[in-house]
Structures are given as structure tokens and as C-alpha cells.
């Protein structure tokens, strides 16, 4: 009889312990059932939901032609640099021309790196240009460094000549030998960011008619909340200009001053004509 009572006591203790564990576990799990814990954590988390790093890149199909808004007469130092062999292939080339206000001709490519900083998943649902200025193509000084052709990998493309440019899938047209816009980029997809996760997007912007200054606006969802982040060129808008005077002949484009690429990758002024000898003879 005593052994039976002991066995019953042990069984009751076991059942009591199991019941305690079940109740404790239920209580511990209760907040997760009643509240969105990741959302609560994000509400008290400092810093941005998403950080963005952007770099202007030069791909092989773009060339490195640059244009100034008004006639720019290079300083003696810049002229000496441009006349050096290999000047156009030097990293200093772009830095020098940016410093005098020259912008990309017809195409601008951006490498945009998004990083998530939230417990909840960040879903980027749209990226669109915000046009700051759109006007006639710049017709000041052209530094002509044409494309060497190629078929680079690209994700996204914007035609800035459209009234409201839409993010399109970028595809390489083998017949035309260039990047062309495809279907809507966000038609069937989003860009998803986990906490500390990154996504890289290569963005190509093009114009054949205008000078355009713009920023990019990325719209994203954090839970059920819609937010946005602005992407620009270190506080300034990005800039790109179409060719002034549509022509396949360099001699026929409409610029106040033109520097043409030489066979040794230097640049020589051909408009207005100077007394210095240039290898460039035209076609």
C-alpha cells in the first residue's frame, strides 16, 4: 500500500512538473502571439531602415564623353594633361572633368548598394527618378571619348526622355548592339532586404533629347508601413545630357568647343581650329 502511495506521489509530481512547463512555455510564447515582436524591436531601434551607397561607374559600352553647360576654355594645366598620351584612360581624366562641371553624355550608370537595418524584412517596391531640371542639351565644350562597344551586365534602366520615367528591366539588344529597356522592373518582383543584408542594383539612365538633373526615390515597405529614401550625388542631383545636334559625324555636332580623341588616347581641340597639329583627320 505504501509503495502504491509513493508511485502515485511520483506520478503527481511528474504531471505537476509537466503542467508547469506547459504553462511557463505558454506564457513565454504569449507575447509572440499577441504582439509583432520584430516590429516592436524596430520601433525602439535607432538609425535608418535602409542605408544606400551609390557610385557612378563607367562601363565599356558607354565611352567617357563629357560636356560642359557653357563654352569652357581649359586652363594650361588641363590642356597639358589632355595632350598627354593615355590621358583619356587615366583615372584622373574623369576627376579633372568633373571638377570643371562636365557631365556624362547620353548615358549615366550608377551602382546602388542597399543595406537593411531592421528586424523586419524591408521590401523595396519601386524606384523612380525625381526630375529636378529638364532642358535643352548642353552645348558648351565637348570632350569626345566614344564607346569601345561591349555588352555589360545591367539590372535596371530609365529613359529620362519619358514624362514619368519608369524602372525597366535592362536587356542587351544584340542586333542594335546596345542596352535597351525591357518590361517593368517591379512588375513581378521586389528587392528584399534582411537585417544587415545587401542588394546591389546597376542602374542605367539615358537621354537622347534633353539635359536632365535628377534624384532617385526608392519606396519600400516595412511591415504595413510605406516609406522612402532619396538617392543623390552627395547631396546634389545626378546629371546627364543628350548630344547637341544629332549627327554621327563629330564635325557636325553643335558645340562651341570640341576636343577629339587621338589614337594615343590623348585629346586635341578641333573646334575652333587651332594651330596645333592633331592626328585626328575626321571621316
How many domains does the chain divide into?
A: 1
Per-residue pLDDT reduced to its tens digit, 178-229? 788 889 999 989 999 999 999 999 999 999 999 999 999 999 999 999 999 9
Q: 220 lies in a domain?
A: yes
Q: 153 lies in a domain?
A: yes
Which region holds residue 38: left if phi is over 0, alpha if psi is between -120 and 50, else beta? alpha
At 171 the pLDDT is 85
pTM of the model: 0.82
Query: Cα–Cα–Cα angle for 113, 115, 117, nearest 5°?
Result: 165
Q: 24 lies in a domain?
A: no
Q: 219 lies in a domain?
A: yes
Per-residue pLDDT reduced to its tens digit, 63-107? 899 999 999 999 999 999 999 999 999 989 999 999 999 999 999
| Distance from C-alpha of 125 to C-alpha of 225, rounded to nearest angstrom | 12
For the chain, state the CA radius of gyration: 30
Q: Which of 239, 65, 57, 68 is nearest to 138 (CA)?
A: 68
Domain span at residue 80 reads 50-271
Q: 210 lies in a domain?
A: yes
Per-residue pLDDT reduced to its tens digit, 107-163? 999 999 999 999 999 999 999 999 999 999 999 999 999 987 666 777 999 999 999
Q: 3 lies in a domain?
A: no
pLDDT over 50 (residue 282): no
Q: Which of 254, 257, 160 is nearest to 209 (CA)?
A: 160
Q: 196 lies in a domain?
A: yes
State the pLDDT confidence band at 61, using cuts at 50, 70 and 90.
confident
Q: 14 lies in a domain?
A: no
Amino acid at each position: 500500500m505504501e509503495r502504491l502511495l509513493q508511485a502515485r506521489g511520483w506520478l503527481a509530481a511528474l504531471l505537476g512538473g509537466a503542467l508547469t512547463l506547459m504553462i511557463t512555455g505558454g506564457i513565454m510564447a504569449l507575447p509572440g502571439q499577441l504582439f509583432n515582436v520584430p516590429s516592436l524591436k524596430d520601433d525602439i531601434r535607432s538609425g535608418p531602415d535602409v542605408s544606400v551607397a551609390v557610385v557612378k561607374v563607367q562601363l565599356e559600352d558607354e565611352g567617357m564623353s563629357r560636356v560642359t553647360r557653357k563654352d569652357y576654355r581649359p586652363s594650361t594645366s588641363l590642356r597639358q594633361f589632355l595632350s598627354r598620351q593615355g590621358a583619356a584612360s587615366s583615372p584622373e581624366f574623369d576627376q579633372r572633368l568633373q571638377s570643371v562641371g562636365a557631365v556624362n553624355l547620353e548615358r549615366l550608370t550608377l551602382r546602388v548598394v542597399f543595406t537593411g537595418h531592421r528586424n523586419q524584412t524591408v521590401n523595396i517596391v519601386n524606384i523612380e527618378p525625381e526630375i529636378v531640371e529638364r532642358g535643352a542639351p548642353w552645348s558648351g565644350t565637348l570632350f569626345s571619348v566614344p564607346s569601345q562597344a561591349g555588352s555589360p551586365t545591367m539590372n535596371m534602366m530609365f529613359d529620362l526622355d519619358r514624362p514619368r520615367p519608369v524602372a525597366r528591366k535592362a536587356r542587351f539588344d544584340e542586333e542594335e548592339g546596345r542596352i535597351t529597356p525591357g518590361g517593368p522592373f517591379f512588375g513581378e518582383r521586389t528587392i528584399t532586404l534582411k537585417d544587415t543584408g545587401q542588394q546591389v542594383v546597376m542602374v542605367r539612365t539615358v537621354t537622347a533629347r534633353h539635359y536632365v538633373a535628377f534624384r532617385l526615390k526608392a519606396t519600400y515597405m516595412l511591415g504595413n508601413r510605406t516609406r522612402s529614401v532619396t538617392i543623390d550625388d552627395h547631396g546634389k542631383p545626378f546629371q546627364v545630357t543628350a548630344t547637341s545636334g544629332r549627327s554621327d559625324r563629330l564635325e557636325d555636332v553643335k558645340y562651341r568647343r570640341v576636343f577629339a580623341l587621338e589614337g594615343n588616347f590623348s585629346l586635341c581641340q578641333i573646334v575652333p581650329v587651332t594651330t596645333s597639329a592633331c592626328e585626328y583627320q575626321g571621316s
